[in-house]
């Protein structure tokens, strides 16, 4: 066999071996994720909810709320905080909409509901001030 061909084949063999080792390491590292479907959904959700709160992503919180309400009207254990924060954000937004539309009756009803929900936020009461600030800043 030609010496040049032998060198090229050895280089290809080494490259294939390195690629195989990288794939093997990746496979071994991903074994821990094989059983993700048995993770506690409420625990996973708590992490997502905390992330959304940290980044003041109230639109995403409301989106999660609406998706979860399609499955169940009442919150499962671990989802109560999402429901309260999302309901407050929705109510505050709709209050602004009714004010802009010139419907004082519906705006008043929403304001009363927002006040009631604010009292139910508990540890997340600070989100009410953030939501109100974001709504006031909106054009």
53 and 97 in a common domain: yes
37: three-class secondary structure by DSSP: helix
User: Helices in the chain by DSSP H: which ranges?
Assistant: 3-30, 41-54, 58-71, 80-101, 104-120, 125-137
Query: If we measure between CA atoms, which residue out of 97, 93, 139 comes closest to residue 114?
Result: 93
In the predicted model, what is the mean pLDDT of residues 104-131? Answer: 89
Number of structural domains in the chain: 2
Model pLDDT, residue 23: 93
On whether the pTM is more than 0.85, the answer is: no
Model pLDDT, residue 57: 81
23, 57 Cβ separation under 8 angstroms: no
Q: For residue 132, how many other CB atoms are within 10 A of its CB?
A: 17
64 and 82 in a common domain: yes
27 and 65 in a common domain: no
Model pLDDT, residue 128: 87
**124 Cβ partners below 8 Å, 6+ apart?**
53, 81, 84, 85
2-55 per-position pLDDT tens digit: 888 889 999 999 999 999 999 999 888 777 666 655 666 666 666 777 788 777
CA distance 16 to 18: 5
Query: If we measure between CA atoms, which residue out of 89, 129, 136 comes closest to residue 113?
Result: 89
75 and 58 in a common domain: yes
81 and 48 in a common domain: yes
Model pLDDT, residue 67: 81
Model pLDDT, residue 42: 62
pLDDT above 90 (res 102): yes
114-127 per-position pLDDT tens digit: 999 888 888 888 88
**pLDDT category of residue 82 using cuts at 50, 70 and 90:** confident
Burial class (CB in 10 A: 0-12, 13-18, 19+), 61: buried
The boundaries of the domain holding residue 26 are 3-33
Retrieve residue 29's tokens: 């590292």
* pLDDT more than 70, % of the chain: 84
């Amino acid at each position: 066999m030609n010496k040049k061909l032998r060198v090229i084949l050895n280089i290809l063999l080494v490259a294939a071996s390195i690629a195989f080792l990288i794939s093997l390491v990746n496979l071994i590292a991903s074994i821990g994720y094989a059983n993700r479907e048995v993770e506690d959904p409420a625990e996973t959700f708590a992490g997502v909810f905390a992330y959304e709160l940290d980044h003041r992503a109230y639109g995403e919180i409301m989106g999660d709320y609406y998706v979860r309400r399609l499955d169940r009207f009442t919150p499962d254990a671990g989802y109560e905080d999402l429901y309260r924060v999302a309901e407050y954000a929705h109510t505050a937004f709709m209050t602004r909409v009714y004010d802009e539309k010139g419907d004082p009756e519906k705006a008043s009803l929403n304001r009363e509901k927002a006040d009631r929900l604010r009292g139910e936020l508990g540890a997340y009461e600070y989100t009410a001030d953030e939501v109100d600030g974001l709504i006031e800043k909106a054009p």
